[in-house]
Structures are given as C-alpha cells and as structure tokens.
Amino acid sequence: MKILFAASEATPFAASGGLGDVVGSLPKALAQKGVSCRVVMPLYSNIPSHFREKMSYICHFNVVLGWRNQYCGVYQYNHDKVGFYFIDNEYYFKRDGMYGFYDEAERFAFFSKAVLDIIEYIDYQPDILHCHDWHTAMIPVYFNIFYKHKEKYSKIKTIFTIHNVEYQGKYGMEILQDVLGLPESEKGLMQYDGCLNMVKAAIEACDKLTTVSPTYSDQLQTPLFGCGLDREFINQRHKFCGILNGIDYEINDPKTDPLIYKNYSCQDISGKDENRKKLCLEMDMSDDYRPVVGIVSRMVAHKGMDLIKLSLEHLICSGFKFVVLGSGEYVFESFFNDMHNRYPRQMAVYIGYNKPLSKKIYAGSDIFLMPSQSEPCGISQLIALRYGAIPVVRETGGLKDTITDCSFGRGNGFCFEKYNADDMCGALFRAKNLYESRAVWELLIKHAMSCDFSWNESATKYVFLYQDVLGLK
C-alpha cells in the first residue's frame, strides 16, 4: 500500500499548528506499521537552510492552471524513513510567511494541481492520495475532473481529512474559471451558499472523508459546529468518520527530551519539581507552592481566550500562577502583556512561537489550561498529559475524547461542559484542591503520564481505512 500525503505544512520543515504536527508524525507512524508513505508540501522560504541544503533536485515541469502556465520544481528529502517532496515555485512560495496573502486561492490551487502532476514524474505510484484541510481540497476535485481517466491515475483513491472546518477556502464565484481553471459545468459542485467553497466540493468529490476525533465528526453534523456545512456532512456520512490524532512519543518524551531542564519519567517524577522551579526562575516568577498553570495556544477567541480574559485576574488573586505562550489577536496579546505588567511575579507571557520554551512549559506546569470553544482534536492536551501537566479542558471535540474528569474514578484531568468563565474557574479550583493533597496529586500525574496517546492505535485505524477504500477487506 502506497500513500501520498498532501498538505500545506509538516514538521519539522514548516508548521504553524496542529496540522503540521499531524502531517509530520502520522506518516512516520504508518511507516513503522509497514505502510509506505510519502508527503508533498510547498517549498517555503522559511524552511531551515540545513534541510534545504540536503534536498535533492528531482525534476521540473510546467503546471497549467486556467490560462496560467507556471514553473514547478520538485525536490526531495528523506526524514524518519518518510520521503518528503517539496514543490518549488518562487513566485508563490518564496514569501515572508506561509499564509495570509491576497492570492491564497491561486497559490493552493497551483499546489493542488502540482501534487497531481508530479505523479507522472516521480518514482512512486500511490494507491491513495491523502489530502489535508482546505489548501488541498482542490486535489479530489481536479482528480475527478482531469486525471481519473488517465492510465496512471485510474486506480488511485482520494481521502480528505478536515482538521478545522472554520477554514473552507471560500471565494467569489468569479475565480471558478479564471483562477481554478474549471469549466462553467462545474459550478454546481463548487458553489455553496452563494459563493465558491473548496471544502464543500472536496467533501463531495473524495472517496473517504475523515476528521480528527470521533466527537468532532458528530459535531460537524450539527448547525452549531458545522460552520454552514452540517447538511453536507450528514449527506456524506456513509463515507465519513473521525480518527483521533496521536503525538510522536519519541520526540515528546520527558525521559529523553533535550529541551527541558531535567529529564523524568512516569516511574520517577522527581525531576518534574526541578522543571517547575527552573521555569519560574527563567520566567522571573515567584517560586512558591502556588500551582503553575501553563497555556500554549493561538490567542484567538475560539481557543477560549475570552474566558481566560474574563477570569485571569480573579484566578491570580486566588493563588494561581500563569505562564502563557502564543500569538494571535492583538486584543489578547495586549491583555496578557498588561496582566504581566500588573502581576509580574505571578504571570509570565511570551508572545510568539518558541518550541524550546513550550516544552519547558509542558514540563514545568502543574496544570495545563485549554478552555476551547471548539477543538477538532487538540494536540497540546496530549503533550501536557505526556509531561504530567494536568489538563483542565472544556468538554468539546477531541478534548472530550481524550480527557476524563477526575470525579469519574480514574480521570486524567478536569473538565467543564458549559462555555462560561464560572464553570472554567470551577474546574480550576477543583484541580487546585487536589493539588494541595500532594500524594494524591502525584498519583494523578503518574496516571496522566501513563495514558497512551501515541499514534499506535490511530495509525492502525488509518490502515483499516486505507484497506477499506482500496477494497482490500
């Protein structure tokens, strides 16, 4: 079985969030199960030079996109037994950053077409094209319209995975022919709710549709979470399922992680205390008995930042300390800076992306807060569990599938159901009460660290899905 992944980002080359983590780690887990996997992504200019220097040139050709005829170079680099292909076009990808440009539709339509075209040139004949999020939504669409009937493509199946339905690739209908190069006859497939919607078209065009947790797959079929596409998910439910994300247990291992202050393990958690002390020291916070709450998140409302904004001062005054890392909307960034200025010894903030510091926060925090309004899967709570920072989460999407409240016997965290600040504070105070009983808290840490959210089980589910779509079972 040969699987070709297509995505706009992947660790360790270029990533802005959970999508990159999944595309960087799932192929490795599949390879360990004997499934051959390769990945295609754009050759962004921010890919570190030590990777670029070792890439080998494979070929180049031109990609036709409507009236455009664009250069496309292909480079390859092997990482963790997975081959990565990089699509080179300096006009589209040699920019400052990966996303947020005026011609996003054109950039990723070009990328999608390039992914399909390279199959003619590389020494890899995939059985399945596994596409991720809106950037690659045009792949199943172009596949059905322009490629399926060609000899080399006739047996290929397409899978489309939704990591976050809030990004749908929505544009005015006028890009149909001019930018996407599609005939007028495809208007019905591409149109939804008065505009062009790439994700809607991919949902219909793909052979199998997945998302990143079972609860989110149920939620997507409701108006509250479907972001306008709930009817589409219901219509396609015969081919739709949710498979929980995992994390790379080799990279995320407190026993060996070189980025944390002191290594520790589930059997011997004594090093965790030193991580906490050193984190407080590095962030210039008081090193006292008060619980350290870690937050590593994009600073946007749907991650629950508005709830945190409402209650942070009250929580600090009630004996919590906070270490916050992330970036996002100005209103939240300036709020955290302001709170740091007012409570410098109880509240530390780092605005931006900083992998080593994020690892130190996971290792040095007692509690990890994730009050998301919606969360397709969530990766941070899984890393927090692995490093023994007890998650306090809102019960939604993948958070619901991975965190069980301690009041139900052997829980691994604290949950609240209703999206409001009082309930979030309630869950934090329940955590704090338990934290004050040292021996019980240590048992909780050990239990959290022993939960298995590696890729092992979920990668097996993908293997079953691949077998299913190929008619092998």
Q: Does 459 bind ligand GLC (CB under 6 A)?
A: no
Binding segment for ligand GLC among 12-20, 47-55, 135-143, 284-292 (CB under 6 A)?
Answer: 12-20
CB of 164 to ligand GLC, least distance (A): 4
Q: How far apart are CA 450 and CA 270, in angstroms?
A: 16
**Closer CB to ligand GLC, 89 or 252, in the complex:** 252
Query: Whose CB is nearest to ligand GLC?
Result: 18
Q: Classify residue 123 by burial, with Cβ atoms within 10 Å: 0-12, 13-18, 19+.
A: exposed
Mask: binding to ligand GLC, 169-208, rule CB under 6 A, as x and -?
Answer: ----------------------------------------
3-state secondary structure of 341: helix
Residues in region 20-39 near ligand GLC by CB under 6 A:
22
Residue of the chain from 198, 379, 415, 428 that contacts ligand GLC (CB under 6 A): 379
3-state secondary structure of 195: strand
Closer residue to ligand GLC, CB minimum distance, 202 or 379: 379
- Among residues 38, 30, 46, 45, the alpha carbon closest in space to that of 6 is found at 38
Provide DSSP, 372-440: -S--SS-SHHHHHHHTTPEEEEES-HHHHHH--BTTSSS-SBEEE-SSSHHHHHHHHHHHHHHHTSHHH
Q: What is the CA radius of gyration of the chain?
A: 23
Quote the least distance from Cβ 18 to ligand GLC, whole Å: 3
Using CB under 6 A, which of the segments 14-22, 143-151, 324-332, 354-362 binds ligand GLC? 14-22
Q: How far is the CB of 169 from ligand GLC (least distance, A)?
A: 15
Q: Which of 76, 144, 164, 210 binds ligand GLC (CB under 6 A)?
A: 164
Per CB under 6 A, does 10 bind ligand GLC?
no
**Closest CB to ligand GLC among 16 and 78?**
16
CB-nearer residue toward ligand GLC: 291 or 378: 378
Rounded distance, CA 57 to CA 165, Å? 35
Who's near 320: CB < 8 A, 6+ residues apart?
A: 290, 291, 293, 346, 367, 428, 432
Q: Going by C-beta distance under 8 Å and a sequence separation of 6 or more, which residues neighbour residue 213?
A: 242, 243, 244, 245, 376, 377, 397, 398, 400, 401, 402
| Among 315-323, 332-340, 375-383, 415-423, the segment contacting ligand GLC (CB under 6 A) | 375-383
CA atoms within 13 A on the CB side of 227: 16
Residue 335's closest CA among 368, 359, 311?
311
Task: List the one residue from 196, 203, 377, 425 that touches ligand GLC (CB under 6 A).
Answer: 377
Q: Which of residues 404-433 bind ligand GLC (CB under 6 A)?
A: none
Stretch that binds ligand GLC, among 178-186, 200-208, 376-384, 459-467 (CB under 6 A): 376-384
Q: Point out which residues bind ligand GLC (CB under 6 A).
A: 17-19, 22, 163-164, 212, 245, 375-379, 398
